[in-house]
Amino acid sequence: MKNQALLNAIIENAIDGIITINDKGIVETINPSACRLFLYAPNDVIGKNISILMPSPDREKHNSYLESYKSSGVPHIIGYGRDVLGRKKDGNIFPFRLGVSEVKFENKRIFAGFIHDLSHQKEAETRLMQYTQHLEELVKDRTLTLNETIEALTNAKEEVSTTLEKEKELHQIKSRLLSMASHEFRTPLSTIQLSSSLIQRYAEELNTPKIDAHIRKIKSAVANLTVILDDFLLLEKAEANKITLQISCFDLQAFIKEIIGELKLLTKKKQKIINIPNSEIALVKLDKNLLKNCIINLMSNAIKYSGEETEIELWTTLDSDKITINIKDNGIGIPEEEHEHLFEAFFRAHNTGTIPGTGLGLHIVSRYVKIMNGTISFKSAANKGTLFTIELPRL
């Protein structure tokens, strides 16, 4: 009796609805949670066919489902969970997760249905899907606008090139156009990035892979567009001679260790960055921002153009009058016939394939190294990796 009382208490206080029917589809018991879901009192349901809780066409077909199971013995929903629709007393339809178990007791066949309301979850999924669609449309519109602006910039450059006689005037116009593009697109790109992060956070508890996949695509597209804008602005500053050296004294080894910490977030699966430090404190006088841009650009390329489970090496040597920085990878390498063009603006080797890039990074690095009165060289061959070496004067 105690066990029966305990079982009754569990059923009566269960959060989910529990309904039992006989093999003819007649309701024998219904717990309070199920009554609240369907808006029925127990006496309204017990003794009635379970189909009163179903919308069409399941309402009309339920008895045939039972007869089919009794004659064939093949279960379609028994022992499995699935999402179905229920019909409340007031006629409203709502979604729920249904699990059905078969129990044989005293020569009777009883079916127990366990009902978990999905109304709030489905509403949340619908809202998230609407947000995702809106965000995709926003990205599509912004991308279209950006493409139109880039096309307009290209057309403007060609038009200016044919009409202006002086190179100085051409640079001034290009500078204004690039500054305008950066200002106009950074704000919407930041908004898209923030909105995608918020949607990703709201969607975590719903475990929806499709939404996650779309969010990753959106973030990747935003990141690529941001890199393109940054590269164009850096190129414009370098060409317009707007960069001035900001010399400071710092420990080169600690500086490189800090950069490696940032770069580890970009590495692929099981990629390793190997740093061979000098044993002594290496104080140098250089422009930290320009040097950091050079190292990050070369290291990012090494990561991007190398495969998983590869090693990327970074080491420095100091002489009395020279600082040498070496970055070596085991990636796709640079074909020999393309070596002479490597530091040209917008140049990309033919073996880069679909790997994203603007072809400006190495050109900017070479300009920065020149501004610091240094030199940059490399050794590379296709499929044999690349070694870049930067040599700077030690002030």
pLDDT 10s digits, 280-323: 667 899 999 889 989 988 998 899 889 899 999 999 988 888 99
Give the separation between CA 124 and CA 200, rounded to whole angstroms.
Answer: 13
Q: How many CB atoms are closer than 10 A to CB 182?
A: 15
Highest mean pLDDT among 118-127, 176-185, 277-286: 118-127
**Rounded CA Rg of the chain:** 34
Same domain for 152 and 205: yes
CA 376, distance to chain mean position in Å, is 35
**Beta-carbon contacts of residue 256 (< 8 Å; ≥ 6 apart):** 275, 277, 295, 314, 316
Instruction: Return the residue matching tokens 């001034």.
Output: 172
For the question of whether the overall pTM of this predicted structure is more than 0.75, the answer is no
Same domain for 278 and 360: yes
Q: Which of 263, 332, 317, 322 is nearest to 293 (CA)?
A: 263
pLDDT at 83: 86
More confident residue, 237 or 107: 107
Give the separation between CA 30 and CA 77, rounded to whole angstroms.
Answer: 20
Count of domains for the chain: 3
Give the separation between CA 140 and CA 144, rounded to whole angstroms.
Answer: 6
pLDDT at 289: 86
Give the separation between CA 376 and CA 59, rounded to whole angstroms.
Answer: 78
- Residue 178 structural domain: 121-239
CA 343, distance to chain mean position in Å, is 31
Same domain for 125 and 113: no
Of 191, 217, 239, at which residue does a domain stop?
A: 239
Of 73, 91, 117, at which residue does a domain stop?
A: 117
Report whether 391 contacts 323 (CB < 8 A): yes
Same domain for 384 and 256: yes
CATH number at 264 reads: 3.30.565.10
Q: What is the mean pLDDT of residues 198-222?
A: 72
List residues bridging with 285 in a β-sheet.
Answer: 249
Report whether 126 contacts 116 (CB < 8 A): no
Same domain for 300 and 328: yes
Of 239, 273, 297, at which residue does a domain stop?
A: 239
